[in-house]
Amino acid sequence: MDNASTGSEKAREPQTFEDVDKITAAVASGEISETLVVAEGEERTTWFVWLLVACASISGLLFGYDTGVISGALVTIGGDLGPAELSSGQKELITSATTLGALLGGLVAGVLSDVLGRRPVLGIADIIFIGGAIGQAVCHTVWSMIGCRFLIGIGVGIAACVAPLYIQELSPTRLRGRMVVVNVVMITGGQVVAYGIDAAFENLHGGWRWMVGLGAVPAASQALCLLFLPESPRIMIRRNDIEAARATMTKIYAYATPEQIELKVRSLAAAVKLSVEITNSTTFLQRFRLILTDPINRRALIVGCGLQAFQQLCGFNTLMYYSATLFKEIGFNQPTAVGLIVSGTNFIFTLIALKYIDIIGRRKIMLWSAPGMIIGLVLASVAFHFLTKKTGGELVDGTQYSTAWSAIVLVAMIFYVASYATGLGNVPWQQGELFGLEVRGIGTSLATTTNWAGNLLIGATYLSLMDRITPAGAFGFYAGLCLLGWIFCVFCFPETAGLSLEEVRLIFRHGFGIKESERLRRERRALQAQEKAERDCASEKA
């Protein structure tokens, strides 16, 4: 055996590292062991991590594209599906079918990924995306369109649940939030692409078929990419495939020493040891009860589901689904192009979140951005009140409305979207970090289902709400819901930035952990500073 090989074997000898039981005890007691900090050690993010995240985030692109493209399609379908013009009820059914499918897809996705693994489930979502996109492009009746939108929805629900989970479990702790935001950037990017495609094909007869059919292209691309991506190391360890987990860790932490890699694998194995034991000794129903009855899991579930409910009940996705219809009614000649401005704002401000979510923190971003959403919605409500005075408070298609008030509506929507994209559009998708491994699939499924249930409720009632309580009343109502969501964040949402996935669950031991999370983060920063000082001292001596 050559010297390099011998050195590598020696680096993996158990006696050269801290005892695994010591690490396990540290995790169980809530004390952050210095060994855990060392095991996280890496100085640079590798090309492998960025490539992996980019491939996984194609799910986000599909999510954004397939939810955004329907806005322009609804305006241009005309009589292609039978009726001379789609009624409000038919538009709501077509839109809501996607959401209903996503609700069901999200409900099973996390649990299915616990059984099959994260990667195969993303592959299943791609197959569903391809089938749904082609089906939409060739359908000729309203009900076949509704059925294909439902199928697309299942794929969206699966991707929305599993892609962030997969990315979180493969990302270094210090960049975990940012990596998940890459997926959200792709969601908003998908919406921008969708609006661009809508604008390109809106004047072409039957152009809506191209709009919906092109969604098959990125799905096929990701299906090919998945053949070359690894499974989550936590899933590998749970299956007792330590060597495969070590190989993946070596690629993720390419600049770390063999000792650091081994420490990372050992600390991860120790940290998920309890989760593995629970998973192997319980049934699905028992784990489902565990997430509801165990105080730590229940608090995590309340936070995860609460944030996802906030994300939908704020009314944002009604703007994504119906923006072209709304801007057409208030007098814009190119409603799809105006919708592109709104989705472009969403994309740009998501990039801001990409840079700062791990620096500022999830909690602060939420507390600072939510008031901006409230202001934007209140301004829109006031503008709609004065805009529609001459039509009795209702929007009447074909009416010549004040261009000044129409412009104020657009400015209010841009301000609202910018605030949403900075915080609420991103933070809820960090949901996977709230749960222990043994219930992570179940927890993310329930949180994602909450998201789509809220989406279904808002999407199915938006047009009716606009008719019943007027546009001014509808946007004022959404502003009130945003205020309630902000209050929820103030009292229930702890900071998780900078903590490992295994450390996050410790903050829920005694309440919602607003103060506990800050204590743990201070300890981790202190240990990291101590570790850096020791390394610098050792380098000077050398």
| Percent of the chain with pLDDT strictly greater than 90 | 23
Instruction: Give the pLDDT of residue 417.
Output: 92
Q: Which residue has the higher pLDDT, 307 or 159?
A: 307
Q: Which residue has the higher pLDDT, 34 or 64?
A: 64
Q: Is 247 exposed, middle or buried (0-12, 13-18, 19+ CB in 10 A)?
A: middle
- Comparing 29-33, 164-168, 529-533, which segment has the lowest mean pLDDT? 29-33
Would you say 494 and 366 are in contact if contact means Cβ atoms under 8 Å apart?
no
Q: Which residue has the higher pLDDT, 265 or 417?
A: 417
Instruction: Give the pLDDT of residue 36.
Output: 52
Instruction: Give the pLDDT of residue 25.
Output: 56
Beta carbons within 8 Å of 182's beta carbon, 6+ residues apart: 53, 54, 57, 60, 167, 354
Mean pLDDT, all residues of the chain? 82
Q: Is residue 488 over pLDDT 90?
A: yes
Q: Match 């412009």 to its residue by tokens.
A: 407
Would you say 195 and 320 are in contact if contact means Cβ atoms under 8 Å apart?
no
C-alpha–C-alpha distance, residues 98 and 319, integer Å: 16
Instruction: Give the pLDDT of residue 355.
Output: 83
- Comparing 221-230, 389-398, 429-438, which segment has the lowest mean pLDDT? 389-398
pLDDT band at 7 (very low <50, low <70, confident <90, very high): very low
Q: 437-492 vs 316-329: helix axis angle to the nearest 10?
A: 60
Would you say 319 and 432 are in contact if contact means Cβ atoms under 8 Å apart?
no
Q: Which of 228, 224, 163, 226 is nearest to 190 (CA)?
A: 163
Residue ranges of E strands in 283-372 = none
Length of the chain in terms of residues written? 542
Q: 242-252 vs 47-56: helix axis angle to the nearest 10?
A: 110
Q: Tell me the CA distances in angstroms from 450 to 107, 157, 304, 311, 345, one per residue in order.
A: 9, 11, 9, 10, 26
Model pLDDT for residues 66-125, shown as the tens digit of each residue: 877 887 788 788 778 877 778 877 887 888 888 889 889 988 888 888 888 889 999 999
Q: Tell me the CA distances in angstroms from 276 to 35, 270, 521, one per residue in order.
A: 21, 10, 26
Would you say 159 and 60 are in contact if contact means Cβ atoms under 8 Å apart?
yes
The long-range contacts involving 281-289, CB below 8 angstroms and separated by at least 24 positions, are 282/438, 284/111, 284/442, 287/438, 287/439, 287/442, 288/442
SS (H, E, C) 313-336: HCCHHHHHHHHHHHHHHCCCCCHH
Instruction: Give the pLDDT of residue 42.
Output: 52
Q: Is residue 21 over pLDDT 60?
A: no
How is residue 404 written in tokens?
A: 């000044």
Q: What is residue 203's DSSP assignment?
A: T
Model pLDDT for residues 353-403, shown as the tens digit of each residue: 888 888 888 999 999 999 999 999 999 999 988 988 888 877 777 778 788
C-alpha–C-alpha distance, residues 282 and 126, integer Å: 31
Q: Is 165 exposed, middle or buried (0-12, 13-18, 19+ CB in 10 A)?
A: buried
Return the ∠ at Cα 26 (arms to 23 and 27), rounded to 5°: 90
Q: Is 278 exposed, middle or buried (0-12, 13-18, 19+ CB in 10 A)?
A: middle
Instruction: State mean pLDDT over 280-295.
Output: 85
Instruction: Give the pLDDT of residue 480.
Output: 95
Model pLDDT for residues 473-486, shown as the tens digit of each residue: 989 999 999 999 99
